[in-house]
Amino acid sequence: MSQAGFPSTSRARAVQPSRSRAAQPEDLAHIPWLPALGADERQRVLADLRVVQVEAGELVCRVGRPVTYWFGLVDGLLKMSNDSAMGIPITFTGLSPGGWFGEGTVLKNEVYRYNIQALRKSVVAGIPAETFHWLLGRSIGFNRFVMNQLNERLGQFIAAREIDRLNHPDARVARSLAALFHPVLYPGVGEVLRITQQELGYLVGLSRQRVNEALAALQADAVIRIEYGGVRVLDLERLRSYRRS
């Protein structure tokens, strides 16, 4: 199964530079650790905070770049992957609004080991590594958030192992889709998850053909609807608990 490098995932076309804008009040409302800070701490954060609009397909941070920011997703959907140049081991994780990432690498002051790519048009915020460290040594509430974040990540990791153990391909595709949806806390069904079958194949570790087949089965069960460049979730509950029919 030669994976012939990593197929430039979805539409990684060169997009014009992201529009950086000042942080809006509604952005701040989506930063979960902000309320945990004291007034003076918050003041510094607001001064250092940067907010960026990224288009679908844009890379937020690239493997190997030195760490400068601790990032958080304000709105949209991001995909985290470790497709290096060799690109055999591939792990994917969906990132939800309110989720912050990169603390591991920021803590150790290493280079990024992951690519973060926007699956949809998204709003990403970030604070400089120095500010991150400053908060870490100062605010208990902030530490609590980071700890919670790490714990959550561990939970996702374990869930991923569990999905790995599922032998039925259809079920694996279904559960992985549900896992991508979960963090997003969708208000209702009928949402389109913009991800290609090729990407899904890498996500679950199956061939594109098999994914296509699995999706067809899921569609036949009226759990999802296949659309060009994505799938529409019709029944999230059944998707979560899908097993072979």
Partner DNA sequence: TCATTAAATTGTT
Partner DNA sequence: AACAATTTAATGA
Q: Which amino acid does the sequence have at 152?
A: E
Tell me the closest approach of the beta carbon of residue 49 to DNA, in angstroms: 30
| Nearest approach, Cβ of residue 232 and DNA (Å) | 12
Among residues 160, 244, 159, 157, the alpha carbon closest in space to that of 205 is found at 160
In the bound state with DNA, the residue whose beta carbon lies nearer, of 153 and 232, is 232
DSSP symbol at 26: H
Residue 226 beta carbon to DNA: minimum distance, rounded to whole angstroms: 5
Calculate the alpha carbon distances from 94 to 99, 166, 167, 237 in Å. 10, 19, 22, 18
Q: Name the region of 49 (left: φ>0; alpha: ψ -120 to 50; beta: rest).
A: beta
Our CB check for DNA shows the closer of 49 and 204 to be: 204
- Tokens representing 75 are 């709105």
Q: How far is the CB of 75 from DNA (least distance, A)?
A: 19
Measured between alpha carbons, how far is 67 from 65 in angstroms, rounded to an integer? Answer: 6
Interatomic CA distance for residues 141 and 69, integer angstroms: 20
The site for DNA (CB under 7 A) is made up of 2, 4, 10-11, 13, 196-198, 208-209, 212, 215-216, 226, 228-230
Work out the number of other CB atoms within 10 angstroms of the CB of residue 229: 13
Q: How far is the CB of 19 from DNA (least distance, A)?
A: 16
Token pair 């569609």 in the structure block, residue: 219
Our CB check for DNA shows the closer of 68 and 212 to be 212
**184 neighbors 96 (Cβ within 8 angstroms):** yes
Q: Please, what is the minimum distance in Å from the beta carbon of residue 216 to DNA?
A: 6
Say if residues 236 and 178 touch (Cβ distance below 8 Å): yes
C-beta closer to DNA: residue 81 or 149: 81
Which of 131/197 has CB closer to DNA? 197
Query: 154 or 226: whose CB is closer to DNA?
Result: 226
Quote the least distance from Cβ 143 to DNA, whole Å.
Answer: 40
Compare residues 175 and 210 and give the one whose CB is closer to DNA: 210
Instruction: Give the C-alpha separation, 223 to 157, whole Å.
Output: 25
Query: Dihedral sign, CA of 32, 36, 40, 44?
Result: negative
**Rounded to 5°, angle at Cα 207 from 183 and 168:** 70
